[in-house]
Amino acid sequence: MLNTHKIKQDICEIGRRIYAKGFAAANDGNITVRIGENEVLCTPTMHCKGFLKPEDISTVDMTGKQIAGTKKRSSEALLHLEIYKQRADVKSVVHCHPPHACAFAIAREPIPQCVLPEVEVFLGDVPMTKYETPGGQAFADTILPFVNKTNVIILANHGTV
């Protein structure tokens, strides 16, 4: 039996960590966890990830419709859902804005593997999407060329997923 309250607490802890590291300023970023065939826990839109509470987390179905929770689901939930649709092995997704990765995203330059050995060893080539305004299905679709080949993608002019 899945303990959704514990998973919501874990989401809040991840939110605190990315906020503390400066990877999610203000209301930036979002976190989801797939809890069933058609259910995903999702952080709320316009809410600081550093101060989340379990009751802030909503549940959405695989179409993006909010099916539980009082706070509106993330405006970028479709991006997460597209990853889950393409990758059955993925159970959680974090989208955030690490400053160094954002610099590459804004410059639209790939991250050179020689920057740090860890990049080469753990990430390999990190692809970058084309730019699309965040929030809609067109934005979610930008990951399609890469999602089955990597676990990290830079979103052009935006952040990482």
Is pTM, for the whole model, over 0.85?
Answer: yes
Residues 133-144 have pLDDT tens digits of 999 999 999 999
Query: Where in the chain are the domains?
Result: 4-160
Tokens of 17: 């960590």
51 CB neighbour count, 10 Å cutoff: 11
Per-residue b or e along 109-137, where b marks 16 or more CB atoms closer than 10 Å to that residue's CB: eebeeeeeeebeeeeeebbbbeebebeee
Instruction: Write out pLDDT tens, residues 17-27.
Output: 999 999 999 99
Q: What percent of the chain has pLDDT over 70?
A: 99
The pLDDT of residue 111 is 82
Which class is domain 4-160? alpha beta
- Each residue's pLDDT tens digit, 83-134: 999 999 999 999 999 999 999 999 999 888 776 787 778 877 899 999 999 9
CB burial class (10 A; 0-12, 13-18, 19+) of residue 21? exposed
H or E element that contains 9: helix 4-20
Per-residue confidence band for 28, with pLDDT thresholds at 50, 70 and 90? very high
Return the structure tokens found at 134.
């965040």
Q: Report the chain's mean pLDDT, rounded to a whole number.
A: 95
Element at 103 (helix H, strand E): helix 99-107
Euclidean distance between CA atoms 125 and 123, whole angstroms: 6
- Give per-residue pLDDT as tens, 31-57: 999 999 999 999 999 999 999 999 999
Question: Rounded to whole angstroms, how far apart are CA atoms 23 and 81?
Answer: 21
22 vs 129: CA distance, rounded Å: 23
